[in-house]
A and B are shown apart, each in its own frame.
Chain A
Amino acid sequence: MTINEIRLHGVLPDVFVGDSRDKGDIWLADMAFRRGKFYLVEAESGAGKSSLCSFIYGNRSDYQGKISFDGRDIRSLSVSEWCAVRSRSIALLPQEMRIFPELTARENVEIKNNLTGCCSRARIEEMFGLLGIADRIDTPAGRLSVGQQQRVAIIRTLCQPADFIVLDEPVSHLDERNNAVAARLIEEHARALGAAVISTSVGNHLAVQYDSVLKLSAKS
């Protein structure tokens, strides 16, 4: 299924209910993320960036309000529909990366690519090369540094056709050069698919041109 719009109607994480702080541009607002646009979601720690990503990805539902894909409440999606969304419509790079330490870097990418059939073996190896970890491609991921694991996670995220690419602090452990390379790869991928990018950041954000910068919550 192609998703053109992700709309949030008065969404607020349950943990923030009763909290009188300013809720920013997203919580409790009626707003939409549209396909093809690049969004930067800026916030301090604890403002609910990862919660937002998890809500949109169907990983958590501890919120009030409504999130809809092209008008359909995502709470009504079945298990098989979520599987289709996660392998065809929305790509997620979680903050904690979720790399399987017992698999090699290549296998961590292939486990996603086997499901989607999105990238050729050569393309995967090319991305490893561009991100400077070609020599670690057959190393068990558990033995990679956090920065290297983040690059593996970025490549895995790009091994999927998507309408929305949701990146939760995607370059928090990358240097400027790798940030630029990752940004270029992500931007090329998104532009090729006509996909939206929703990237969260606490400061070190992905170096792409954003159409919209949203604040998740303001100071007390």
Chain B
Amino acid sequence: MIRRLLRKNISIAQIAGYALANLLGLAIVMTAVRFYADVSETISADAGGNSGLIPADYLVVSKPVSLLNTIGARSSGFSDEEIAGLRSQPWAAAVGAFEAADFNVSASIDFQGRGMHTFLFLEAIPDEFIDVDSRNWSFNPDAPGEVPIIIPKDYLALYNFGFAAGRGLPQLSESTISSVPLMLTASGAGRSDSFRARIVGFSSRLNTIAVPSDFIAWANARYGSGAAGKPSRLILKVDNPGDPAIASYLRQCGYETASDRLDRGRAGYLLTVFTVVVCSVGAVICLLSFFILMLAVTLLMQKSRTTLHWLMLLGYAPAKVARSYYRLVGVVNGGVFVVAALCMAGASSLWTGALPGKAGAWPVLASLGAGLCLTAIITLVNFYVIRRYLHRLF
């Protein structure tokens, strides 16, 4: 009966106008969030399996090698001041130095009766930058057992698709390589020792042959000349590799880095900017539509002012009288959310087929979550406005 009394002043045109405007805004926001989540997931998957909207990434920084380096007139190492300068940058989450081996290293392998022997170089970086399972990533000088080694994924690819294919050698999987025992021979300072070693991981982040820093520190002291040089490469952990400040700083200091990371980061950065702009447009439309709804509901209550007042004079509580309006706002906003979700799903079919890999559930959840949050905010603020109006009228 109350609903019947209050329904008479509902303006279908106003509510439809609001619903259309809110649908437009909500669909834009949800579609943009979905697009952002889908594409950023692809970008982060390309970047080495990190997850997250814009994943933290690692950059390896070095100085350019020129003729001056060749003739020994200039060092390509980083001074303490230069490292401190990098550390002080707001975008640098962590800075680690590559520690090079100051001794001769060779590795030998006995694989299916074929012996191979090669000179090698080793480097170490702080453990926090290691991107493989590091359970066995340690070396105890007091009980020198197996030395764990990480090699770049690219090296294996070079062997499998370049060397092995050309020479008729068998191609090797990561697990096969990991099961082959190696023999490392370290020599220098009048000493020479051999160690068992094993490849424990393949890194897409490190372009070097890495061993634990404990091993390098111990071996440098034992076999090295004692002339520890400055690190010639640094590894940086950055929150957003697309931050233009990074490229700007590196250029200003004359440092080099793997450009694809920055490019990919830049793509992620542009994606973020694009999404923020589109989401903002959608949010502004939602905000404007919210005002339309607020005006429509306030006008509706104003037109029903006498009826509302009389109902409350009969003893009806404002909350009970408000239920009709709550229902109206809830149903309209719920409907708008459902239709916006369908629009988002329809729009996403335009690009999901073009993206490599299968997208997870989280882009959908992020999009629905964003839409639900906006809808909830609009609905709750309207509920508050209705409640306040009725309490004032009481």
A interface, CB within 8 angstroms of B: 57, 59, 79-80, 82-84, 86-88, 92, 94, 98, 100, 102-103, 107, 110-112, 114-116, 160
Contact = CB atoms under 8 A, between A and B. Distances in A.
B8 A83 contact: no
A112 B318 contact: no
B250 to A, nearest CB: 65
A112 B307 CA distance: 14
B317 A98 contact: no
B313 A86 contact: yes
Nearest to A98: B310
B1 interface: yes
A103 B317 contact: no
B5 interface: yes
Nearest to B8: A102
A115 B307 contact: no
Contacts of B307: 100
A57 to B, nearest CB: 7
Interface size class of chain B, counting residues whose CB lies under 8 Å from the partner chain: 10 to 19
Nearest to A87: B315
Contacts, number: 46
A86 B5 contact: no
Given A100-B310, A102-B8, A116 B315 contact: yes
B380 interface: no
B2 A111 contact: yes
A61 B291 CA distance: 33
Given A100-B310, A115-B316, A82 B1 contact: no
A7 to B, nearest CB: 23
Most buried by A among B1, B315, B316: B315
Given A100-B310, A111-B314, A112-B314, A79 B5 contact: no
B59 to A, nearest CB: 63
23 contacts: A79-B394, A80-B317, A83-B312, A83-B315, A83-B316, A86-B313, A86-B315, A87-B315, A88-B315, A94-B313, A98-B310, A98-B313, A100-B310, A102-B4, A103-B5, A111-B1, A111-B2, A111-B311, A112-B314, A112-B315, A114-B1, A116-B315, A160-B315
B353 to A, nearest CB: 55
B5 A102 contact: yes
B391 interface: yes
Contacts of B391: 79
Contacts of B313: 57, 59, 86, 92, 94, 98
Contacts of A110: 1
